[in-house]
Amino acid sequence: MNSVPPAKPVPDIDIAQLRMRAGEVSGLLKLLANPGRLLIACELMEGERTVSQIEQRTGVRQPNLSRDLARLRAAGLVAARRDGKTVHYRLKDARITLLMGALCAAFASDLKSPPAAQTHKD
C-alpha cells in the first residue's frame, strides 16, 4: 500500500451538522460505489463528453451507460446538453468534482501508467 500524506484537518467541524447530512453523503457514496458510475464520473472530470466518447474511454457498454447516466442525472450530479442528435454530459454538482478530485489525488500514484519498456539493440 502506498503512503499517502495525512489529510489537512477541516477546522471547526460541527459534528451535529455533519450527523444531519450523513445520510446524504452516504447516499452519494453508494451511488458512486458502482464501478460504471465511478468510471463515468472520472471521465467527466476531464470535461464534457458524449455517450460514445464515454463508452469508448471507459468500456462501459451503452445500455449500462445510459442507465448509469440516468441515475447520475436524477441525483443532480450530471447535466446534459443536447446539440442536434448528440447529447453532451458534464459534472453538474461541485461536490462531486471535489470528491472525484480527492479520490484521484488519493489513488493517483496507483493509477499512473507504468513507463513504456525500452528496447535496446545490442
Q: What is the CATH number of the domain that holds 35?
A: 1.10.10.10
Summarised one tens digit per residue, pLDDT across range 17-63 is 888 889 988 999 999 999 999 999 999 998 999 999 999 999 999 99
Question: Would you call 2 helix, strand, or coil by DSSP?
Answer: coil
Residue 89 and residue 54 in contact, taking contact as beta carbons nearer than 8 Å: yes
- Structural domains in the chain (count): 1
For residue 72, being part of any structural domain is answered with yes
d(C-alpha 2, C-alpha 69), whole Å: 32
Summarised one tens digit per residue, pLDDT across range 62-72 is 999 999 999 99
Q: What are phi and psi of 50, to 5 degrees?
A: -90, 165
Alpha-carbon separation of residue 83 from 31, 54, 80, 86 (angstroms): 28, 16, 10, 5
Residue 43 cell numbers, joined: 471521465
pTM of the full structure: 0.75
For residue 119, being part of any structural domain is answered with no
For residue 121, being part of any structural domain is answered with no
For residue 13, being part of any structural domain is answered with no
For residue 84, being part of any structural domain is answered with yes
For residue 8, being part of any structural domain is answered with no
Task: Determine the structural domain holding residue 87 and report its residue range.
Answer: 23-109
For residue 27, being part of any structural domain is answered with yes
For residue 94, being part of any structural domain is answered with yes
Residue 51 and residue 69 in contact, taking contact as beta carbons nearer than 8 Å: yes
